[in-house]
């Protein structure tokens, strides 16, 4: 099954709406598992997986940065820095 650019976009937008629950390592290690988390079970070719991986990696990185930022802020509050 070959996805069109619109279909790739729709999958990414659905994942954004559902909430990003993965990090960049998850995407890099096994993008298929990430897609399964969101109910996308169709078998995809390497080209489609590469296109989705390219779009999902920045979302995973953004989540990682947000988590690290939250941890730093929590630690600072606990230490009375803020």
Q: Which tens digits make up the pLDDT trace of 28-70?
A: 999 999 999 999 888 899 999 999 999 999 999 999 999 899 9
Which of the two residues, 41 and 25, has the higher pLDDT score?
25
Domain residue spans of the chain = 5-78
64: tokens are: 């990682």
pLDDT at 21 over 70: yes
CA distances 18 to 15, 46, 73, Å, are: 5, 24, 26
- Find how far residue 47's CA is from the centre of its chain: 18
**What does the pLDDT read at residue 69?**
92
pTM for this model (two decimals): 0.81
pLDDT at 82 over 70: no
Please state, in angstroms and rounded to a whole number, the distance separating the CA atoms of residues 73 and 11. 32
Residue for token digits 């941890």? 71
Q: Which residues of 2-21 are buried (b: 16+ CB within 10 A; e: fewer)?
A: ebeeeeeeebbeebeeeebe
């Amino acid at each position: 099954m070959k996805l069109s650019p619109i279909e790739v976009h729709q999958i990414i937008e659905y994942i954004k709406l559902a909430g990003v629950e993965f990090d960049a390592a998850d995407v890099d290690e096994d993008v298929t598992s990430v897609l399964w988390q969101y109910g996308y079970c169709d078998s995809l070719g390497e080209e489609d997986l590469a296109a989705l991986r390219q779009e999902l990696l920045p979302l995973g990185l953004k989540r990682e940065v947000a988590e690290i930022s939250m941890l730093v802020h929590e630690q600072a509050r606990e230490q009375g820095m803020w």
